[in-house]
Structure 1
Amino acid sequence: MGTATTTDFLSALRQRRSLYALQKGSPISDERIRQLLEEALTHTPSAFNSQTTRLVLLLGAEHDRLWEITRQVLKAIVPEDQFAPTNERIQGFQNAYGTILFFEDMAIIEHLQEQFPLYQDRFPVWAQHTNAMHQIVVWMLLESEGLGASLQHYNPLIDERVKAQWNLPESWQLVAQMPFGTPSAPPRDKEIKPLETRLRVFGH
């Protein structure tokens, strides 16, 4: 059983790639997607078991609204003659089925800083580690169910508009956005740098 589980995990890890050509379709139900996010939140570790990561699932018109907000924000700061590639990129994300927003609850982090002053400068760093673990877990879960995704970072440009649109707590800090959907094209080639420069082993 252990070998099979390891094989499944490695298969999901190997298949996880950044996919940008996505369609508005899903091989699984919205309820199943919600269940996957609940599993990720339940079982992904966090420093001091702080459980600071927050997820928001946007589907249908709410997903489209996110990328319209992003388009509006960027159009206001990107020169008009340079906006076409940006607009095309945003449209690609909007073509997806849904988006998962990843947040960290800074109120909990600040409480931990007060509770453990010796580590106060580390808690924001550990929170980012926690969020990153949630990102890879969610990404692999989506991949294992036949969905493709990519990870985007339009924060902090869109933070205030996002929190206002969905009435989210002020203490939630946006970390990343993950558009996902049915893949319509294979991933781009990925360069793997030599492992001998990235791994060192000492002893047995």
Structure 2
Amino acid sequence: MNFNELQKNRRSIYALGDKLTQSPEEIDAVIKEAVRESPSAFNSQSVRAVVLTGDSHKKLWDITLDKLHEVSKSEEAFAKTSEKVNGSFKAGFGTVLLYTDSDVVKNLEDSFPSYAKNFYDWSEQALGIADYSIWVALAEMGIGASNQHYNPLIDDDVRKEFDIPASWTLRAEIPFGSIEAPAGEKDYISDDERFRFFK
């Protein structure tokens, strides 16, 4: 597939399973390469990734459910949330946790005061590029994924469970697995609303 075809294949897949032919080690290697080759301002390499599979993956979503239960407004609301988490995320093969190392950002702010106001935004851009690179790489392998944001609700418990350094700030969770049902149709707004072209 060419790049545009890969982009079209990269969709939010919510019906995930754990029936993958690739080993955890193969997937981990692809994710590392995707993050390693993603660009960042000043080559800061501020993105950190934690790949969870097996029991570690399930533990992450148990933590998430526990925290969601604590803040849920009713048992009925939690039942719906629990169904979504168990069916869409925990049922998958694994999850990538994406972090920004805030020490890297702070050091750049101190080292380059003229650009200090920009480094947080640039770190978010680096995170987004790495996130997308992982997602496209997984799509190329025929693996479904979605992008989730249960941070900061789960941050402290996840940090304790997986021994995450204090300077790492959780920015996204990418559950992945076998595609049990395809994504729905994607709507596009008019090109006239989004683009301008001059020559």
2-side partners of 1:199 and 1:28: how far apart? 39
Q: Equivalents in 2 of 1:189, 1:37: separation in Å?
A: 27
Q: Distance in 2 between matches of 1:44 and 1:77?
A: 36
Counterparts of 1:14 and 1:126 in 2: how far apart (Å)?
A: 26
1:68-113 Cα deviation digits (max 9, x unpaired): 0000001001122321111111112100010000000000100000
Any idea what SS the aligned residue of 2:165 has? coil
**Which residue of structure 1 lines up, in the alignment, with residue 70 of structure 2?**
76
Q: 1:88 is matched with which residue: 80, 83, 86? A: 83
Q: Which of 34, 39, 46 is the equivalent residue of 2:33?
A: 39
> Which of 64, 68, 77 pairs up with 2:58?
64
The farther-off stretch of 54-63 and 73-82 is 73-82
**Structure 1, residues 40-64: CA drift from partner, whole Å, max 9, x if none?**
1221100100000000000000000
Task: Indicate the residue corresponding to 2:9 in structure 1.
Answer: 15
Cα distance in 2, alignment partners of residues 179 and 112 from structure 1 = 31
Specify the alignment match of 1:180 in structure 2: 176
Moved runs in structure 1, 4+ residues, more than 6 A? Answer: none
Amino acid at match of 1:77: V
Structure 2: unaligned runs, 5 residues or longer = none
Q: Which amino acid aligns with 2:78?
A: F
CA RMSD of aligned residues (A): 0.9
Instruction: Tell me the distance in 2 between the aligned counterparts of 1:188 and 1:153.
Output: 21
TM-score, normalised relative to structure 1: 0.94
**Which blocks of at least 5 consecutive residues in structure 1 are unaligned?**
1-6
How is 1:34-183 mapped onto 2 (pairs within 5 angstroms)? 34-79=28-73, 80-92=75-87, 93-183=89-179
Moved more, 107-116 or 33-42: 33-42
Percent identical residues: 38
Letter in 2 for 1:165: E
